[in-house]
Amino acid sequence: MSSQSGPRPCIAAEHRQFDFWIGTWDVALAETGRMVGRNRIEAVHGGCALQESWKGVSGLVGTSLSYYEPSDGLWHQLWRDSSGLTLQLAGGFAGGRIRMFAVTREAAGLPVYNRITWTPLPGRELRHLWETSRDWGESWAQDYDLIYRPA
């Protein structure tokens, strides 16, 4: 009798680069410490992706799917939330952190460049920094600076 094992396509080290985000987190504003929500990130599909489930104190809920794509060597994330916001991000791992980018549009149709960085911190915390640029990336404004702590 032979044992059959299925394919294991997501075993390369690159697929584990974002594992520091896995967990259930209490999320607060970095500047004030005010709680803004809870986020649960879990490995899904045999470790081939990370699924995010966000619940904000404001009532906003959202989810994302993040994965490493070997064909382009990038991390990708698709985010959708209850406000109707969709982000299609792509980026990479360097210096121990993940940074991804997306382009959205303002109501007037002008492009907004989004830069989101996840950085592990000492004590099993992490920083989630979201910045935007409206001048083709010449300057960046901070939208959200969040600290994640284990729930």
Per residue in 17-76, pLDDT tens?
999 999 999 999 999 999 999 999 999 999 999 999 999 999 999 999 999 999 999 999
pLDDT of residue 1: 46
Is 131 found in the same domain as 76? Answer: no
**CA 29, CA 147: separation in Å to the nearest integer?**
6
Domain end (from 65, 85, 105): 85
pLDDT of residue 129: 98
Is 100 found in the same domain as 80? Answer: no
Other CB atoms within 10 Å distance of the CB of residue 106: 9
Is 121 found in the same domain as 63? Answer: no
Other CB atoms within 10 Å distance of the CB of residue 105: 9
**CA 76, CA 70: separation in Å to the nearest integer?**
11
| Chain position carrying tokens 């993040």 | 66
Other CB atoms within 10 Å distance of the CB of residue 95: 8
Percent of the chain with pLDDT strictly greater than 90: 91
| Chain position carrying tokens 């997306």 | 102
Contact 64, 72 (CB under 8 A): no
- 3 in any annotated domain: no
pLDDT of residue 113: 97
- 41 in any annotated domain: yes
Contact 39, 148 (CB under 8 A): yes
- pLDDT-derived band at 107 (thresholds 50, 70, 90) equals confident
